Amino acid sequence: MRRSVVLLVLSASVLLAACVAAAGPTSTSGAPATSVPASTGASAAQFGGDPCSALTSAEITAATYPQGPGTFSSTDTQKDATTGQPVVCQYLVVFGDHPSSVGVAISLMDDSEYGNRAAVSLIAPPVAVPGIGSEAWLVQSAPGLYEVYVSAAHGKFRLGAPSTDTAIALAKLAAARD
């Protein structure tokens, strides 16, 4: 039951945080892709223009999850409504014999989204996390969803995961790649 709640909260929070707009072209998973409002500050240089290149399938599989060991399944992207460029990547993970679910998500951010971290941290105030990019903050916007807001060399992004340790460890890897 707890596993289902964590996965449901993570999935719902990622969609809410991305401000999903109207359905657009087909996504990488074959399902209808969603578009998100235009992001004025996200740089095409971030992760080479592909947020799904922030982490590898091996890194996703090696991560520690509260649900237990997970195996990378696939990625799904959401695109900017104006530019059509990918701005959100959801890494889908399989836990045991359960269907794949969002294990980790990365969202490219503009300055105002990054600056809004205190407003979305509904559970506790943001906490500075040293050693990630030029600046990083741990935000808990919902029970079971931990996001690290990162300002790195080529722009800003947030990484959401179901545990603090997973979010911080994967944000370090992604920031080093940005």
**Cβ atoms of residues 78 and 93 within 8 Å:** no
pLDDT for res 43: 56
pLDDT for res 30: 39
| Domains of the chain by residue range | 2-177
pLDDT for res 57: 95
**Both tokens of residue 52?**
């799904």
pLDDT for res 4: 41
CATH number of 2-177: 3.40.1000
pLDDT for res 16: 35
Longest dimension (CA), the chain: 41
pLDDT for res 178: 67
pLDDT for res 35: 41
Low-confidence ranges of the chain (pLDDT < 50): 1-41
pTM of the model: 0.77
d(CA 14, CA 78) in angstroms, rounded, equals 11
pLDDT for res 158: 96
